[in-house]
Structure 1
Amino acid sequence: MGEAGSRQPKDPVRALGPPVAVWAATRAVLLLCVFKVLVLPGPDVTSDISGIYAGWSEVLKSGAFPQDDVAWQYPPAAALAVLSPGLLPFLDYASAFFLLACAADAVTFALLLYAGRRPGKRLTGAWVWAAGVALLGPTAYARYDLMVTAVAVAALFAAARRPRVSGALIAFGTLLKVWPVLLLTGAPLRGRRARQLWGAAAVGALAVIALCAAWAPGGLAFLTFQRDRGTEVESLGALVFHLARQFGWDGEVLLHYGSVEFVGPYVPLVSSLALLLTVAAFGWLLLWRLRARRFTSTTLADAAFTAVLLFVTTSRVISPQYMIWLVGAAAVCLTLRASRMGLPAALILLATGATLWEFPVRFVDVVASEGSGVVLLAVRNVLLVAASLSACRRLWRSTVTGPGHVTAAAAPRTPATAG
């Protein structure tokens, strides 16, 4: 601890200057993009806000979920994100949404800066966040994933000292967009802190579901909307069809269930294989959990990052905004000096930059299965696979086969990340 403390900057405020300046400059550019002062090539990434989110907002204001729209595939608490622009009634819906997304970005960055100044922590995570969101481009401000990721980052940082708060935040995040439930992958299973965290998560989830059910019907309709999803054009499985189109495959690309998907021969087979791959990935996580013997202060964050990586990489749908989840989880890991997720985090930053080029810049080529688009997509997906394998290997070695500082018996008393 003394060594870690000696590495803290002599002037902490001065050390914050560079990352804050980079964050401010890049976010100014993102705002210029979403407000169309600067325009990137490719489709308008903001059209969903004014064309879809705003419509959902009107339906939600009427006291019902948009359960007749198959594009609504979100848990009930997502209604809060969709309705949030109402907090700024003096602005039009899209403008208010962009500013609130920027506010969520700023909150996440502030959490990483605050944690990075504490003993045993570092500002690397704040740098990862500043760079990662910028590398994704304006898509980051044109979806509500920044809001969800802010909740997830806060949950991971709260786990060590405030497990009840962490559990409640995980529950809330899960009912915003499902994936934050993966933060529980490395959570302790025994001891007082474990009971507090899991209990708060369960109670919080039930409370939010009950409130949403009482407020409006159709809050759980999203569960059935997912079952008929196909293979989205940016997913790992989509590479099969991008290549098959070069050899006469007669399927097509359609806007299907709210995303651009392949439709045609063998698509159901590839989609089923993707689901099996996801099941296999979670089987590995279960095996890891059963075999893990050494839990450290970084295990919760490292396990959460690994789980989210596996979920995204094997998904039938890899939308560009999913990269925000990975950047947020990676940023928390790299805030902790003892984390071993440096290489996977670096690969995620590269994958995020590649994502900007495949969407929106070269998305027309991706949809048409043209060479440059397919190459960019393949590079991004290979980087995701490499990051997943690296994260799995490092998590396994740090908790199962490698040296550790905390025994399994002590694990429940050190549930996770930054304090």
Structure 2
Amino acid sequence: MHLVFLVFALILSLRGEAFSDTFIYRDWTSAGFRDENLSGGPSPWVYPVLALVPMAIAGLAGPGPFFFLWVLMITVLNGVALAKLTGRGRRHEAIPAGWWWLVFVFIMGWLGFARVDGLTAPIVLIALAYGVSHPFIASTLLSIATWMKVWPAAVMLSLFTVVKQRTKVVAAGILTSVLVIALTAAVGQLPRLLNFLTQQGDRGMQLEATFTTPWLWLSVLHVGDSRMYMNTDINSMQVDGPGTAFMSFLMQPLLALAAILVAALTFWALHNGKRTGGADRTELLLAGSLTMATAFVVFNKVGSPQFMVWLAPAVAVGLTHSWKEWRVPAAMLIAIGVATYFIYPLFYDALSHNNPFMALVLTVRNVLLVVLFCWSVRRLYLLGKKIPANEPAAAAKES
């Protein structure tokens, strides 16, 4: 499966081309990651600093083979993740989960292979596979991934909530961050270290975001002044209309509130489970990670299609613990992936030109995301109440 993407990447690279966001990454590399050397478009510092490291590696041989080397790095990471997930093929009960991971990666296609998210997803999967039994390793991997793209912080928060040795989680995070700061200072870019926190703070509601759905239909139906437009500064299709500025402002506190509530629910499930006979910390980590990652998608004003990649690691590892319990989110995520593939790259142009059928596809996808979030919240609640959801936890202990 990866060979398909590698051959395609090689063909494009031999033509001197790239694909999707890797065009931008290649330009950043050629410009030495300096804004003054760019002719326009987004700044490379919209990403945390470690995201620029794989870009620099892919650009070592010049712009020609950039795309092929980028896809090769993701292929290697996916291979390592699959080996960890399945115990290098020795954990026979994990083989179906490995197949599910490959199917999802294939469906998401270039949304994973042409974006930074495709690098972070396998790192998060490996971290979750280490889980509560190796919190320092898991936290280190999650810290590295967070300094590449912010979303793994959702999994880090869940890890901190459920493990016994929280000092190891904190220590790994601090140590990794100190090394990142030292690296940034060494290349003379320390003032830009936290630019990713402010670069996109004033952006509007992106077309694909869950909470944008009402304005999406207002634009499709030509109601009022609602419209779609391209924000060229950040290369993002957004929706403008009555109330979108207020909603855009509201989304950041909503996301923060959702994260706090999910962390609180996870903490409650852990301690309430102890009082009723003991909670399985691994199951809580996986359920909490999926809930938190889904909250990061549902309550996000950006909502880019590659965000769906964030949801897969927890489901893949969850399937290795209990196929029966995790088959529901696994099926939903495959449906979400298929719908996302139709949205981008197949028919994004039609969607951005008010095509009602593609608006319906996007609406169904967003509804599925909300349903997945509700399933995840319920899963956490049941783990805390120690009713049927406890059965797979017991099975995991026995194995």
- Asked whether the two chains share a fold, i.e. TM above 0.5, the reply is yes
What is the match of residue 248 of structure 1? 223
CA separation in 2, counterparts of 1:372 and 1:191?
Answer: 46
> How far off its partner does 1:391 sit?
1.0
What is the match of residue 102 of structure 1? 75
> How far off its partner does 1:227 sit?
1.0
> How far off its partner does 1:388 sit?
0.8
CA separation in 2, counterparts of 1:107 and 1:195?
Answer: 27
CA contact (8 A) 2:251 2:299 kept: yes
CA contact (8 A) 1:354 1:376 kept: yes
> How far off its partner does 1:279 sit?
3.3
CA contact (8 A) 1:71 1:258 kept: no
CA separation in 1, counterparts of 2:371 and 2:293?
Answer: 14
| Corresponding residue to 1:80 among 26, 42, 53 | 53
Q: Closer, same or farther in 2 for the Cα pair 1:208/1:395, shift >3 Å?
A: same
CA separation in 2, counterparts of 1:278 and 1:192?
Answer: 27
Q: Closer, same or farther in 2 for the Cα pair 1:353/1:219, shift >3 Å?
A: same
**Number of aligned residues:** 376
CA separation in 2, counterparts of 1:311 and 1:234?
Answer: 14
Q: Closer, same or farther in 2 for the Cα pair 1:180/1:275, shift >3 Å?
A: same
> How far off its partner does 1:144 sit?
2.1
The SS at the match of 2:87 is: helix
| Corresponding residue to 1:270 among 236, 247, 253 | 247
Counterparts in 2 of 1:10-21, with a 5 A limit?
A: none
> How far off its partner does 1:307 sit?
0.6
CA separation in 2, counterparts of 1:192 and 1:382?
Answer: 36
> How far off its partner does 1:264 sit?
4.6
Q: Closer, same or farther in 2 for the Cα pair 1:148/1:193, shift >3 Å?
A: same
Determine if the alignment matches structure 1 residue 122 to structure 2 residue 97. Answer: no
Determine if the alignment matches structure 1 residue 168 to structure 2 residue 163. Answer: no
Determine if the alignment matches structure 1 residue 220 to structure 2 residue 194. Answer: yes
CA contact (8 A) 2:107 2:337 kept: yes
Deviates more, 1:348-357 or 1:82-91: 82-91
> How far off its partner does 1:69 sit?
5.9
CA separation in 1, counterparts of 2:128 and 2:163?
Answer: 18
What is the match of residue 314 of structure 2? 329
CA separation in 2, counterparts of 1:99 and 1:91?
Answer: 14
CA separation in 1, counterparts of 2:53 and 2:341?
Answer: 27
CA contact (8 A) 1:151 1:173 kept: yes
CA contact (8 A) 1:49 1:142 kept: yes
Which residue type is aligned with residue 249 of structure 1?
G
CA separation in 2, counterparts of 1:240 and 1:86?
Answer: 42
CA separation in 1, counterparts of 2:153 and 2:32?
Answer: 25
What is the match of residue 53 of structure 1? 25
Structure number with higher relative contact order (C-alpha < 8 Å, ≥ 6 residues apart): 1
> How far off its partner does 1:195 sit?
1.9
Determine if the alignment matches structure 1 residue 354 to structure 2 residue 327. Answer: no
CA contact (8 A) 2:283 2:318 kept: yes
The SS at the match of 2:94 is: coil
> How far off its partner does 1:301 sit?
1.8
Q: Closer, same or farther in 2 for the Cα pair 1:75/1:352, shift >3 Å?
A: same
What is the match of residue 258 of structure 1? 235
Determine if the alignment matches structure 1 residue 302 to structure 2 residue 287. Answer: yes
Task: Give the alignment's TM-score, normalised by structure 1.
Answer: 0.80
What is the match of residue 4 of structure 2? 29
CA separation in 2, counterparts of 1:205 and 1:393?
Answer: 34
> How far off its partner does 1:283 sit?
3.5
The SS at the match of 1:46 is: coil
Which residue type is aligned with residue 237 of structure 1?
F
Q: Closer, same or farther in 2 for the Cα pair 1:233/1:188, shift >3 Å?
A: closer
CA separation in 2, counterparts of 1:385 and 1:191?
Answer: 28
CA separation in 1, counterparts of 2:285 and 2:18?
Answer: 34
**Identity across matched positions, percent:** 25
CA offsets 1:296-322 (integer angstroms, 9 cap, x no match): 132212211111011112211121211
CA separation in 1, counterparts of 2:283 and 2:162?
Answer: 18
Task: Give the alignment's TM-score, normalised by structure 2.
Answer: 0.83
Q: Closer, same or farther in 2 for the Cα pair 1:345/1:59, shift >3 Å?
A: same
CA contact (8 A) 2:41 2:235 kept: no
CA offsets 1:73-121 (integer angstroms, 9 cap, x no match): 11111111211214566952122222222222222222222277448x5
CA separation in 1, counterparts of 2:262 and 2:362?
Answer: 27
What is the match of residue 232 of structure 1? 206
What is the match of residue 175 of structure 2? 203
**Structure 1 residues not aligned, in runs of 5+:** 1-25, 38-43, 407-415
Which residue type is aligned with residue 197 of structure 1?
V
CA separation in 2, counterparts of 1:210 and 1:254?
Answer: 37
Q: Identify the structure with the greater helix proportion.
A: 2
**Structure 2 residues not aligned, in runs of 5+:** 274-278
CA contact (8 A) 2:132 2:159 kept: no
The SS at the match of 1:94 is: helix
How well do the aligned residues superpose, as a CA RMSD in angstroms?
A: 3.2
CA offsets 1:29-48 (integer angstroms, 9 cap, x no match): 334555568xxxxxx99132
